[in-house]
Structure 1
């Protein structure tokens, strides 16, 4: 699988691929440079080397606050990361956006399974079992706020609330998996744990005595 991912990444770059989430990939004769897409013209940056440096860069935003959601649009600025080869580039991208290369490859091969929100919540047990009680209206509002691209998450959503029940609280482009050749889209095929936790918060609040 790793070899498949590396070759797929190589093919994408050869075809002009340069952007993934908030990252820009710059091919060099001796490897690659990764930097924040906003920093193309920034001169004063911290220069780093090796895929392991990506782990720390992905953890914190510009204010030094921990980023619990790696696909939130708050990746820190002001750095250049030199990577020796495709293997290092793939590892660095996985640190920044865990599993996103594999999800994209699964979509390309027609093997990606999307999971409706109701199915995800139906699997919850223990303290999260109450999430099953969230109404469709509550779910629409929750998704519209939590998953929005401007401040929430930059992934494109592929799942629905339930079969035949689409999400209507976000712009239509939020659900488009296609992207220009130079951009590798970040895809969401199932509601994340943070959204499930938010659903629990909403249900518990609605059930609390007035």
Structure 2
């Protein structure tokens, strides 16, 4: 696993969610993708600084979902080692590097939404009562790449393999598409690159199973909150 991660991180420059990773001399340099041309950024030199950077958005609001498209701007991180780079990226997007490697090596198991809901207990048991029609609407709103979540959805709605939501564009389910750049609706002019090209220039944030925030949202829908 470690060697696989090292190989994935060798292909600089690359994008990981809203982060651009480059090399300057022997250092890895990270910044928000929107800040690539800025030279007035606050400098950080420790991978653990990523914890605080990722904690709040530009308005100072807490980011409960780290893969939401609201990573704050105005920072630049300079790291000396690939180990520091791995730690920083894991703080920005917890667990996503490991999930990417598992997917790339064919070892990733996905879990359908219905399976996740059926194993809930206590106050969340009621979430399993959500209808397919309600799921279709909820997932489209909750998981959309703009204002929702930047992960590419790999899980299905149920064991029969139904798509998570018919209201999301097909790019939302395809790891070769960059969710930061992909429009809400499919664009005919959007050039589709090869999977090999994408893994050299963009490491996707993959979603192998519904998150606990989506489960909580399902519960609210059922309860009519």
Shorter chain as normaliser: what TM range? over 0.9
TM-score normalized by the length of structure 2: 0.86
CA contact (8 A) 1:17 1:184 kept: no
What is the alpha-carbon distance in structure 2 between the residues aligned to residue 114 and residue 17 of structure 1?
29
Match of 2:201 among 144, 158, 182: 182
* 2:221 corresponding residue in structure 1: 202
Match of 1:165 among 155, 162, 166: 162
* Stretch of structure 1 that moved more, 110-119 or 28-37: 28-37
CA contact (8 A) 2:54 2:63 kept: yes
1:116 aligns with 2:135: no
Give CA deviations for 1:97-143 in whole Å, capped at 9, x if unaligned: 00000000101111100100000001100000000100000001000
1:69 aligns to what SS in structure 2? coil
Where do 1:25-64 residues align within 5 Å? 25-64=21-60
Q: CA deviation at 1:29?
A: 2.6
1:72 aligns with 2:68: yes
What is the alpha-carbon distance in structure 2 between the residues aligned to residue 49 and residue 12 of structure 1?
22
| Aligned-residue CA RMSD (Å) | 1.3
1:152 aligns with 2:148: yes
* 1:91 corresponding residue in structure 2: 87
The number of aligned residues is 202
* Stretch of structure 1 that moved more, 141-150 or 39-48: 39-48
1:136 aligns with 2:169: no
Structure 2 spans left out of the alignment, 5+ residues: 177-194
Q: CA deviation at 1:160?
A: 1.1
Structure with more helix by fraction: 1
What is the alpha-carbon distance in structure 1 between the residues aligned to residue 83 and residue 114 of structure 2?
37
Q: CA deviation at 1:204?
A: 0.5
Q: CA deviation at 1:17?
A: 4.9
TM-score normalized by the length of structure 1: 0.92
Structure 1 spans left out of the alignment, 5+ residues: none
